[in-house]
A = this chain, B = another copy of it.
């Protein structure tokens, strides 16, 4: 399936979406750019630290509300720029959690339980201050009425047992999109390197779109099942997408592009410059291949991963 078709078939205006990856690694950027190009808006976004992809979706005006743990992108933007602007100017509804809390929410969704417990956040403003207004939650009937809840530990017996826990409500997005190194034609997924929370996000969603660097016969995926993380029957669309995480990294395939990310950082700070960025790099191309062409073979080659490291050793990242 083409990315354009996968996005238009599953990602609808106003839908609840989550994307895979972490800050500047394995964000499903080809999908993100396609969502922007198709001008799908009013998205309700669930994120832990999904960095670059989240910032671009917010910057392009696709996002109405976000539940998030971390709006940053490593050294290239300790706070994501369009995320920061959107919050400081009241452009989006937002709700803050921690990374583990968001991971637990995806896990709860994947496991089919209404909540999971943790002791993280007791005593903090993550528990005290709620970003979504009660009116917003009341109107959004798919959201739980509570950001989270605290309950006493009913099994407490010893002094060292935790006296209470925070209950985090499950998330079940309409769609999760992840980008991976390898997938079978039927959809079986193999992720190389860190999985972040991709597996939990994928299982929590009603629909799953997978883009991959390498698409192989399903049978080939069965030779080393230990390398696979998701079975084919979870996947709604498989898109073969070369450099599909670009400009973020894809371990073993290519690095993040420091040049592109620095350019983004510079342009994202100014609304007019940002519009020109979108015009040239997103709306100005028909698909991800054309973005890659625009960036140029030479630059893509420069960030190509080497063996055995899996990243572009010696790459100029200043």
Contact = CB atoms under 8 A, between A and B. Distances in A.
A5 interface: no
Interface stretch (A121-129, A148-156, A205-213, A241-249): A148-156
Interface string A61-90: 000000000000000000000000000000
Copies of this chain, count = 2
A309 to B, nearest CB: 12
Nearest to A195: B226
A313 interface: no
Contacts of A158: 141-142
A279 B165 CA distance: 50
A114 B227 contact: no
Given A113-B118, A114-B162, A226-B227, A167 B154 contact: yes
B116 A226 contact: no
A113 B104 CA distance: 12
Interface residues of A, number: 34
Given A113-B118, A117-B115, A226-B192, A155 B161 contact: no
Contact of A157 (B112, B144, B153, B156): B144
A145 interface: yes
A86 to B, nearest CB: 27
Nearest to A164: B114
Contacts of A165: 113-114
Contacts of A192: 226
A119 interface: yes
Contacts of A156: 114
A157 B114 CA distance: 11
A253 to B, nearest CB: 15
Contact of A113 (B117, B142, B227): B117
A187 interface: no
Given A141-B158, A154-B167, 15 more contacts: A111-B118, A113-B116, A113-B162, A113-B165, A114-B117, A114-B153, A114-B155, A114-B156, A115-B117, A117-B117, A141-B157, A144-B157, A145-B155, A155-B167, A223-B308
Interface of A: 111-119, 141-142, 144-146, 149, 151, 153-158, 161-162, 165, 167, 169-170, 192-193, 223, 226-227, 308
